[in-house]
C-alpha cells in the first residue's frame, strides 16, 4: 500500500510538471504576436510570468526525486519551446543581420575586419533584405572575434537567412544540453536538473528566437567545463579559447579551469587563439574590430556603464571620472581571478569557484543586454544559487524600450556618469533584488555553519 501511495505521488508530480511545461509552451505561442508588433512591454510582462512558472518548475525538480520520465518531459518541452520561438520575427535584436553580412563579406574573399558595411568597397554586396538592417553600418567594423566569424561564414554558405543562423544556434544548444547532462552525471546529480537551462526563457528567446551567437560560446564553454572535470587540460584550453573567440565572457572562468602550475591548459589556449586569428591578420590593428568603440559606446571606458559605479556616484560617493573607474573594476576582477586560480581544483568538478567568478563578473560589469546573462545557466545546473538565478530572470526587463539607448548616445552625451540613469531603474530591480536574495541566502546558511562548527 505504501509503495502504491508513493507511485501515486510521483505520478501527480509528473502531471504537475507536464502542466507547467504546457503553460510555458502556451505562453511562448502567446508572446509571438507581441514580438512581431514590437510591443515590448506586454512581451516583458508575459516573459516575467513565464519566468515565474519556470521558477516553480525548477523548485519542483530540485526538491524531489524523479524517475526517467521527468527528463523526457523536460527535453520534450525544451524542444517544442524552441521550435515555437524559431518563428519569432527579428525584432528583439538586429544582430543577426550583421552575422549574415560578415559571412557574405568573407564569402567574397574580403577580410570582415577591413571595412565598415557602408564602405564603397562593399557596395556590390548590398541588398534590400540584409544590408538596411545592419546596426552601426556607417561607422563600426564588426566586433565579433574569429571563431564567430568562421561560424558566420560556414552557416551562410548554406543559406544567407536568419532561419539558417537560428537553426545553427539550435544545434549548438543541443551540444550545450548534452554536455550539461554529462556534467551532471559526472557530478552525481540528477539529470533532470538540466531544466534550469532547458526551460529558461533566456535561451528560448535569445538563442532560438533571435539567433544570438552566444549560444555557440555557451556550448564551447560547457565543453571546457566537462574537459576540466575529466582532467583534460589541453582540451580544456582549446574549448575555452573557442568560446572566448565567440564571446569573451568565458574568459572570466579561466582561473577556475586552470590546474595550478600546469601549463598545458594556458598553452593550448594561447595556441588556439593564435591559430584562429591567423586567417584574419591581414587587417592589421583593425583585427580587433569595434571592440574599443563598443566599450566607449556602452560607457565602460568612462565608468558610467558600470551600474555600481554609476549608483555610487549618484549617492555622492566620490568615484573618479574617466578610465580610473574602469581600471578599478579591472583590478577587482583580476584580484578575484588570482584568488580563484590559487584555490581552484577543476579536476574535482568543484562548482562554487566558477559560480563565484561568474557572479562577480555580472555584478561588476552589469551587462546592458539580456542575452549577456545566459552563459551562467549551465553553472546553475550544477550548483543552484537562487540570487544568480533571479538575476538571469529579471534581466528580461532590459528589453523594455526605456532601457534602450541609441547607438550614438555617448557621442552626444558629455556627461557619461549620467548616461545610465534610465539603466539605473533596471539596475535597482536587477541588483537590488539580487542583494536582498543574497542576504537572505547568507542568513539561511548561518545555522548550518554553526551546526558544522559544533558537530
Q: What is the mean predicted confidence (pLDDT) over 307-316? A: 77
Identify which of 173, 219, 186 has the alpha carbon closest to the alpha carbon of residue 346.
186
Compute the radius of gyration of the chain from its Cα atoms. Answer: 22
Using the predicted structure, report yes or no on whether residue 440 has a pLDDT greater than 60.
yes
Confidence tier at 316 by pLDDT (50, 70, 90): confident
Q: How far is CA 66 from CA 5, 12, 271, 283, in A?
A: 15, 12, 44, 54
Q: What is the pLDDT of residue 449?
A: 52
Span of 216-220, 278-282, 355-359 with lowest mean pLDDT: 355-359
Q: What is the pLDDT of residue 348?
A: 57
Using the predicted structure, report yes or no on whether residue 343 has a pLDDT greater than 80.
no
User: In which domain, by residue range, is 71 found?
Assistant: 2-454
Q: Give 429 or 241, the one with higher predicted confidence.
A: 241
Mention every residue, 6+ apart, whose C-beta is less than 8 A from residue 146: 245, 276, 277, 279, 280
Q: What is the pLDDT of residue 268?
A: 97
Q: What is the pLDDT of residue 14?
A: 93
pTM of the model: 0.90
Identify which of 40, 14, 28, 13 has the alpha carbon closest to the alpha carbon of residue 78.
28
Q: What is the pLDDT of residue 404?
A: 56
Query: How large a percentage of the chain has pLDDT more than 90?
Result: 63
Condensed to tens digits (0 to 9), the pLDDT of residues 4-52 reads 445 666 788 999 999 999 999 999 999 999 998 889 999 999 999 999 9
Condensed to tens digits (0 to 9), the pLDDT of residues 101-111 reads 999 999 999 99
CB atoms within 10 A of CB 42: 14
Using the predicted structure, report yes or no on whether residue 419 has a pLDDT greater than 50.
no
Using the predicted structure, report yes or no on whether residue 438 has a pLDDT greater than 70.
yes
Q: What angle do CA 208, 380, 429 make, to 5 degrees?
A: 80
As for how many domains the chain has, the answer is 1
> In whole angstroms, what is the distance from residue 189 CA to residue 224 CA?
19
Q: What is the mean predicted confidence (pLDDT) over 321-329? A: 74
Amino acid at each position: 500500500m505504501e509503495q502504491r501511495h508513493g507511485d501515486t505521488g510521483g505520478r501527480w508530480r509528473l502531471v504537475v510538471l507536464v502542466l507547467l511545461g504546457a503553460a510555458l509552451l502556451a505562453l511562448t505561442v502567446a508572446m509571438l504576436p507581441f514580438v512581431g508588433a514590437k510591443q515590448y512591454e506586454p512581451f516583458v510582462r508575459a516573459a516575467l510570468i513565464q519566468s515565474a512558472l519556470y521558477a516553480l518548475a525548477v523548485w519542483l525538480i530540485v526538491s524531489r526525486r524523479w524517475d526517467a520520465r521527468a527528463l523526457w518531459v523536460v527535453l520534450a518541452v525544451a524542444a517544442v519551446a524552441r521550435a515555437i520561438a524559431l518563428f519569432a520575427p527579428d525584432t528583439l535584436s538586429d544582430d543577426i543581420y550583421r552575422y549574415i553580412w560578415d559571412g557574405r563579406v568573407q564569402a567574397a574573399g574580403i577580410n570582415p575586419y577591413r571595412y565598415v558595411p557602408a564602405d564603397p568597397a562593399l557596395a556590390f554586396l548590398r541588398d534590400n533584405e540584409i544590408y538596411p538592417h545592419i546596426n552601426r553600418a556607417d561607422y563600426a567594423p564588426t566586433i565579433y572575434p574569429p571563431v564567430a566569424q568562421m561560424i558566420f561564414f560556414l552557416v551562410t554558405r548554406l543559406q544567407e537567412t536568419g532561419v539558417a543562423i537560428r537553426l545553427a544556434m539550435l544545434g549548438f544548444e543541443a551540444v550545450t544540453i548534452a554536455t550539461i547532462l554529462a556534467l551532471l552525471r559526472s557530478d552525481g546529480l540528477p539529470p533532470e536538473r538540466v531544466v534550469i537551462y532547458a526551460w529558461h526563457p533566456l535561451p528560448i528567446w535569445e538563442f532560438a528566437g533571435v539567433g544570438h551567437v552566444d549560444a555557440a560560446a555557451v556550448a564551447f564553454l560547457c565543453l571546457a567545463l566537462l574537459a576540466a572535470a575529466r582532467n583534460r587540460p589541453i582540451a580544456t584550453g582549446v574549448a575555452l579559447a573557442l568560446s572566448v573567440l565567440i564571446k569573451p565572457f568565458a574568459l572570466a572562468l579561466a582561473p577556475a579551469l586552470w590546474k595550478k602550475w600546469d601549463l598545458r591548459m594556458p598553452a593550448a589556449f594561447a595556441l588556439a587563439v593564435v591559430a584562429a586569428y591567423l586567417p584574419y591578420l591581414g587587417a592589421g590593428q583593425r583585427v580587433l574590430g569595434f571592440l574599443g568603440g563598443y566599450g566607449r559606446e556602452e560607457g565602460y571606458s568612462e565608468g558610467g556603464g558600470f551600474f555600481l559605479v554609476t549608483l555610487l556616484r549618484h549617492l555622492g560617493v566620490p568615484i573618479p571620472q574617466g578610465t580610473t573607474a574602469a581600471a578599478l573594476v579591472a583590478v577587482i576582477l583580476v584580484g578575484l581571478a588570482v584568488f580563484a586560480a590559487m584555490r581552484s581544483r577543476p579536476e574535482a568538478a568543484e562548482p562554487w569557484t566558477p559560480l563565484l567568478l561568474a557572479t562577480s563578473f555580472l555584478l561588476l560589469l552589469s551587462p546592458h543586454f539580456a542575452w549577456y546573462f545566459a552563459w551562467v545557466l549551465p553553472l546553475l545546473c550544477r550548483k543552484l544559487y537562487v540570487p544568480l538565478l533571479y538575476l538571469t530572470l529579471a534581466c528580461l526587463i532590459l528589453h523594455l524600450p526605456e532601457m534602450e539607448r541609441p547607438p550614438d548616445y555617448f557621442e552626444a552625451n558629455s556627461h557619461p556618469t549620467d548616461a545610465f540613469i534610465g539603466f539605473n531603474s533596471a539596475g535597482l530591480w536587477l541588483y537590488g533584488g539580487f542583494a536582498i536574495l543574497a542576504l537572505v541566502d547568507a542568513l539561511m546558511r548561518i545555522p548550518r555553519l554553526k551546526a558544522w562548527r559544533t558537530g
